[in-house]
Homo-oligomer: A and B are copies of this chain.
Amino acid sequence: MKVLLVFAHPEPRSLNGALRDVAIEELRVQGHEVRVSDLYADGWKSEIDRADFPFLTPEARFKPAAASGEAFAADALTPDVKAEHEKLLWADALILQFPLWWFAMPAILKGWVDRVYSYGFAYGVGEHSDRRWGDRYGEGTLAGKRAMLLVTAGGWEEHYAARGVNGSIDDLLFPINHGILYYPGYDVLPPFVAYRVDRLDAAGFEAVAERLRERMRTLGTIPSIPYRRQNGGDYLIPSMQLRPGLGDPHAAGFALHLNETTAAKADGEDEIVAVPVEA
């Protein structure tokens, strides 16, 4: 497979830097091709602004989505954004690697999303009718490819459990997994999360590294999170509400958007419904 790893940590000598190297080495051992977008090292520009759309006249009001769509259609995006599009189209699998800062991506990675996810490329794709609401949530430009998060967290795993004070890690990552990866079409793999990373000794690091190597070996085969397809019949159009009767009546929150049927069928692994974070 061809793998793109987008890396968002400012220090190459960090735990994140070491885990990146472990992942890349194992992927190459497995015969995969790997490319890396190292956002800090590359001096990635985080803010979407007028400078991204030099064709705008000074008098023109800047509307980000409209400008993005116009630039994409006219092949007038900036070279840094075009290079990322090329890499995304090249790759069979995308890995976003970052430290969890304030329960979300670092700003520089959010800026990669904001600027690279152009209108016409990652959203605003496909027809809107009484049967389809655009190509999104399981369909779109990046459909057929796989994507996953590789995340480090300073806090304890228990604090991110189903009843942990931070909120569950699966729920905290849903806006990214579902809203950023599934949206333009990716099959989204369960995230790889390492906890308490500020306290890792050599043995602790090796345990995380070995777990990561195993995950890299199964990058092409591990079942994806069974999100429901938007246009597959589970959601009413145009209200995009989950059809009455679907979803565990005791479920609430983001878990409603998992297809229990698909999940149960996935190699009999019931636990995939809960999108487990590996221990």
Interface residue ranges, A against B (CB under 8 Å):
10-11, 13-14, 40, 46-50, 61-65, 99, 101-108, 110-111, 113-114, 117, 137, 154, 156, 158-159, 161-168, 171-172, 174-176, 178-180, 183, 198, 230, 235, 238-242, 247, 250-257
Contacts and interface: CB of A to CB of B under 8 A. Distances in A.
Given A61-B14, A65-B198, A114-B102, A254 B167 contact: yes
A176 B108 CA distance: 17
Nearest to A167: B254
- Please give the count of copies of this chain that the complex contains: 2
30 contacts: A10-B49, A11-B63, A14-B61, A14-B62, A46-B108, A48-B106, A101-B113, A102-B110, A102-B113, A102-B175, A103-B179, A104-B110, A107-B110, A111-B111, A137-B165, A161-B241, A163-B242, A163-B256, A164-B239, A164-B240, A164-B241, A164-B242, A165-B240, A165-B242, A167-B174, A167-B179, A168-B253, A171-B174, A171-B253, A252-B252
Given A46-B111, A107-B47, A252-B255, A167 B163 contact: no
Nearest to A40: B49
The 9 lowest CB-CB distance pairs between A and B, nearest first, are A253-B253, A107-B111, A103-B179, A46-B46, A103-B175, A163-B242, A107-B110, A165-B240, A46-B107
Contacts of A102: 110, 113-114, 117, 175, 179-180, 183
A108 to B, nearest CB: 5
